[in-house]
A and B are shown apart, each in its own frame.
Chain A
Amino acid sequence: MEKDLFLETKNLEKAFDGIKALDGVSLKVYCGQIQGLIGENGSGKSTISSIISGIHTATKGEILLRGKPYRPRSPLDARDNRICMIVQETGTISGLSVADNLFLGDEAMFLQHGSINRKKMQREAEKSLEKVGLSFDVTAPIETLSFETRKLVEIARALYFDPTLLIVDETTTALSYEGRSLIHKIMRDLKEQNKAVLFISHDLPELMEICDRLTVLRDGKLISAFRKEEFDERLIKQTMVGRSIQDNFYRSDFDASHGEKRMMQVSHVDAGPLKDVTFDLHEGEILGVGGLSGSGMHELGKLLYGMLPPLRGEVTVLQDTKSAGGKEIPVRVKNIQTAMENGIGYVSKDRDQETLLLNASIKDNLVISALDKLKTGFFILPRAEKEFSQKQVGSLHIKCSGVNQTVGELSGGNKQKVSFGKWIGNQSRILILDSPTRGVDVGVKTTMYQLIYQLKKQGCAILIISEELPELIGMSDRVLIMKDGCVSMEFQRSPELVESSIIEYMI
């Protein structure tokens, strides 16, 4: 059955500073369908959604809304046309209550005798939350909610205005399993009500499960569109990267052996949400840590890097031989400095906010964690910096115009390579990678996995914290599953290990 056409773009073009982000894209969105949009970083997915939702204006081309020309000047304008968008980053304001956030900018709706009728606003807020299956105190400040619940509040806000087209831009990447399923349900409900959904994601299996149609963008061009019955993971991936890639991009061996040296030891640690955590990390081992977002796995990374002081128990690292004069004794990880001195490197889950200096050059970013290694006497000479950063750019194949390019201008994958380079460059022996492939496309993922595997072969101890189980199963020698701050289960690498056998220890 052919559905009603809701929105159509015709040869849409958009240029930023003369660089084309979108090049003649013609896309159709039907009522009662979930339209998926996928592509590598920088392929134009976010650009097209921000044009439709009125954040940007197109340079060329036109959009037809139910056959009539449509040129939104602002997100409000788009909302009046019943188009709402939920973005990847947080769209709520701390310090305001949930209800205030829900009706931010629309307080006038509750105006009564010149002041706002709070009671009415709160009642409406509760109602709108019910729509997405939530119920809690709407007068509470929004920052008391978890990241996930805040995201759902944003969705409630969008749905309150009864949109005909809901754009979901990579919202699910940051969410846990439960959060995702809730959003999936909301999208399916909208579809039932004959509304349209434009769903943008990196996660191909997720898109294939949810969407009725899938459009692939590459380099700002529409490459190909698939109907549900034509979905084929391998073919779509090939279309995305424009070259054929192997079906399995994880490591192919099942050899879970590693060195005997215990690089890091965690014994009976209580810290933050963590309760009685004990494990070892060995030389040349890839240890995966999985769990739901509230399970404490991200805190585990911070603990190992000396950012989260243990209340009880001990975290030790094998002292760097160079500083201990040949002897290798375990020392306590007291703070970030002891961690770094003993060769621990850490890449945060929130790469842009916590690991990189976005306004600084690639060079500045790479050298900042290796300043002591680059010193000639008291000085850090430009030549040493340049050689050092060019070496990293070369060996990691970072795509850039030069080491002086600003990191903020790079694509997600290249940014991630820079954050890896920071620690590989200063010869870290232990890498703690929190969600290393978050927000990174398939092509770069493959490179990341190869890199991690190479580092293992070189004897690095690697801890991968991830919400993606296939990644953990595919890459780790050993997988720890966390639940409510405890390690609930441990799995060894084996061909028989599958997601379904792990999930029950997470929930």
Chain B
Amino acid sequence: MEEKNTLKSGFGSRILHWIQNYKQYIIQYFGLIFVIAVFLYLTDGDLFSARNLETLIRQLVVILTITLGMAFIYSHGGMDISVGAVVALSSLCATYVMNLTAGQVLPAILVSIAVSVTCYLLNIIVTNQFGLMSTISSLSVMFVARGIVTYVNSMSTDKIEVHNTAGLELFRSNTPFLIGTMAVLCIVMTVLFNLTKLGKQNRAIGDNPLSAMQSGVRVKKVKVEAYVLAGIMVGIAAVFSLSRTGSVSEKTGSGLEMDAIVALILGGMALNGGAKSRISSAIIGSFTYVLLNNGLVMAGVDTQVVSLIKGIIFLIVVFLTIRQPKSKKVLPR
């Protein structure tokens, strides 16, 4: 019967229906294309000049690595605002390890990941044990991590920096390596998200924790797994971030948490998680966000205004994605 009625209702409403169903995809790809088009025009094509492409890739690698991990947290309905501070703390520890081991990179990477995973474990254990909102416990983790970094900085007379940066060179400016890493991370995370129990159970929790639980999902355990995964990714991101600056200050990584959220939303991520969450939100969103950031600066927009413009775009996207069409919500059974 439904089929017949749909046919009756004509072409126009079918298009509307289609738009409604694929809204997330439309925002996702349209946003990216729009940003590319506008800034290519405004910068006379300089946006994609060889030099700027390298800059873009260096900016992209940090934010993409973070959002790929965050996607798992978002998909089960969690949210995290401690990324920036955790990146700072991981970078700090990695710096010390590098200085102690005369510029060895591998131990630094492992320590960075370990520190980050510890922060995220703390975060989810507090959330699980006290039934707190994940945002709030991540707020406390943020303050603790940022506090340690600020304290250590204030105690140190010299600037905290990596003495021997030769090992970090690969992570800083070797474009093929950066592209390769991003590609591998994207593939691995996409597979984990779409083809494994971890990804599927996280999305089920995002839809309805009670139903997921009654279908045999160990809700708390699965959330912990998502946070560990996110911790690993943030630890890797911290290494990329450190290799760009070579030093750690109390400002390191600040604002990254918001960058990650905005990137995910620009990519069409469902903020409440669930079945509609997709890993491509992280990938496309990161591209859009980096292009937007870079393009605004290249187009000669004052740095003072950039933040304001980002805020307005954020509002528009939230308005388009979060607002539910009325008729769909109240359709009686």
A353 at the interface (CB under 8 A from B): yes
Given contacts A354-B214, A358-B207, contact A380 B275 (CB under 8 A): no
- Complex formed: what's the CA distance from A56 to B275 in Å? 28
B163 at the interface (CB under 8 A from A): no
A324 at the interface (CB under 8 A from B): no
In the complex the two chains form, is B210's CB within 8 Å of A56's CB? no
Choice from A21, A41, A336, A409 contacting B216 with Cβ under 8 Å: A336
Choice from B8, B20, B330 contacting A55 with Cβ under 8 Å: B330
- Complex formed: what's the CA distance from A355 to B212 in Å? 8
Residues of B within 8 A of A412 (CB): 333
Choice from B1, B14, B218, B275 contacting A360 with Cβ under 8 Å: B275
Given contacts A357-B275, A379-B195, contact A56 B211 (CB under 8 A): no
What per-residue 1/0 map shows which CB atoms of B267-290 lie under 8 Å from chain A?
Answer: 000000011100000000000000
Main secondary structure of the interface of B (DSSP, over half): helix
- Complex formed: what's the CA distance from A433 to B195 in Å? 31
A16 at the interface (CB under 8 A from B): yes
A371 at the interface (CB under 8 A from B): yes
Residues of A within 8 A of B303 (CB): none
- Complex formed: what's the CA distance from A502 to B274 in Å? 45
B172 at the interface (CB under 8 A from A): no
In the complex the two chains form, is B330's CB within 8 Å of A368's CB? no
A17 at the interface (CB under 8 A from B): yes
What per-residue 1/0 map shows which CB atoms of B241-262 lie under 8 Å from chain A?
Answer: 0000000000000000000000
What per-residue 1/0 map shows which CB atoms of A121-139 lie under 8 Å from chain B?
Answer: 0000000000000000000
In the complex the two chains form, is B216's CB within 8 Å of A337's CB? yes
In the complex the two chains form, is A411's CB within 8 Å of B216's CB? no
- Complex formed: what's the CA distance from A114 to B82 in Å? 45
In the complex the two chains form, is A337's CB within 8 Å of B9's CB? no
Q: How far is the CB of A429 from chain B (nearest CB, A)?
A: 15
Residues of A within 8 A of B328 (CB): 16-17
- Complex formed: what's the CA distance from A42 to B5 in Å? 14
Choice from A17, A42, A368 contacting B212 with Cβ under 8 Å: A368
A219 at the interface (CB under 8 A from B): yes
Q: How large is the interface on A (under 10, 10 to 19, 20 to 34, 35 or more residues)?
A: 35 or more
- Complex formed: what's the CA distance from A361 to B328 in Å? 16
Choice from B16, B218, B274, B333 contacting A411 with Cβ under 8 Å: B333
B133 at the interface (CB under 8 A from A): no
- Complex formed: what's the CA distance from A406 to B13 in Å? 19
What per-residue 1/0 map shows which CB atoms of A354-377 lie under 8 Å from chain B?
Answer: 111111110010011101100100
Residues of A within 8 A of B20 (CB): 17
- Complex formed: what's the CA distance from A19 to B328 in Å? 11
In the complex the two chains form, is A340's CB within 8 Å of B332's CB? no
Binds A, one of B119-127, B197-205, B224-232, B308-316: B197-205
B17 at the interface (CB under 8 A from A): yes
Q: How far is the CB of A427 from chain B (nearest CB, A)?
A: 14
Of residues 181 through 238 on chain B, the ones whose CB sits less than 8 Å from some CB of chain A are 191, 195-197, 200-201, 203-204, 207-208, 210-218
Choice from B9, B214, B332 contacting A355 with Cβ under 8 Å: B214
Residues of B within 8 A of A356 (CB): 208, 211
Choice from B2, B218, B276 contacting A359 with Cβ under 8 Å: B276
Residues of B within 8 A of A379 (CB): 191, 195-196
- Complex formed: what's the CA distance from A330 to B320 in Å? 55
Of residues 321 through 363 on chain A, the ones whose CB sits less than 8 Å from some CB of chain B are 336-337, 340, 346, 348, 353-361
- Complex formed: what's the CA distance from A368 to B218 in Å? 12
In the complex the two chains form, is B212's CB within 8 Å of A18's CB? no
- Complex formed: what's the CA distance from A336 to B221 in Å? 14
Given contacts A18-B10, A368-B201, A379-B195, contact A337 B207 (CB under 8 A): no
A307 at the interface (CB under 8 A from B): yes
Given contacts A380-B195, A422-B215, contact A367 B210 (CB under 8 A): no
In the complex the two chains form, is B6's CB within 8 Å of A18's CB? yes
- Complex formed: what's the CA distance from A129 to B222 in Å? 47
Q: How far is the CB of B268 from chain A (nearest CB, A)?
A: 15
Residues of A within 8 A of B218 (CB): 337
In the complex the two chains form, is B17's CB within 8 Å of A17's CB? yes
Residues of B within 8 A of A368 (CB): 200-201, 204, 212, 215-217
Choice from B191, B196, B204, B214 contacting A307 with Cβ under 8 Å: B214
Choice from B5, B17, B275, B276 contacting A20 with Cβ under 8 Å: B5
Choice from B9, B203, B207 contacting A18 with Cβ under 8 Å: B9
Of residues 1 through 30 on chain B, the ones whose CB sits less than 8 Å from some CB of chain A are 1-2, 5-6, 8-10, 13-14, 16-17, 20
What per-residue 1/0 map shows which CB atoms of A12-37 lie under 8 Å from chain B?
Answer: 00011111110000000000000000
In the complex the two chains form, is B333's CB within 8 Å of A41's CB? yes
- Complex formed: what's the CA distance from A367 to B197 in Å? 10
In the complex the two chains form, is B196's CB within 8 Å of A380's CB? yes
Residues of A within 8 A of B201 (CB): 368, 371
B155 at the interface (CB under 8 A from A): no
Given contacts A18-B6, A378-B196, A412-B333, contact A360 B274 (CB under 8 A): yes
Q: How far is the CB of A258 from chain B (nearest CB, A)?
A: 27
A47 at the interface (CB under 8 A from B): yes
A316 at the interface (CB under 8 A from B): no
B331 at the interface (CB under 8 A from A): yes
In the complex the two chains form, is A381's CB within 8 Å of B195's CB? yes
User: Which 5 pairs show the lowest CB-CB distances between chains A and B?
Assistant: A18-B9, A360-B275, A46-B332, A357-B207, A18-B13
Listed in ascending order, the chain B residues whose CB lies under 8 Å from chain A are 1-2, 5-6, 8-10, 13-14, 16-17, 20, 191, 195-197, 200-201, 203-204, 207-208, 210-218, 274-276, 327-328, 330-333
A-B contact pairs, 7 of them (CB 8 A): A16-B331, A18-B10, A20-B8, A359-B274, A364-B275, A368-B217, A379-B195
Given A15-B5, A337-B218, A375-B197: 10 more A-B contacts, CB < 8 Å: A18-B17, A47-B332, A50-B330, A336-B216, A337-B216, A355-B215, A360-B204, A367-B200, A369-B215, A381-B195
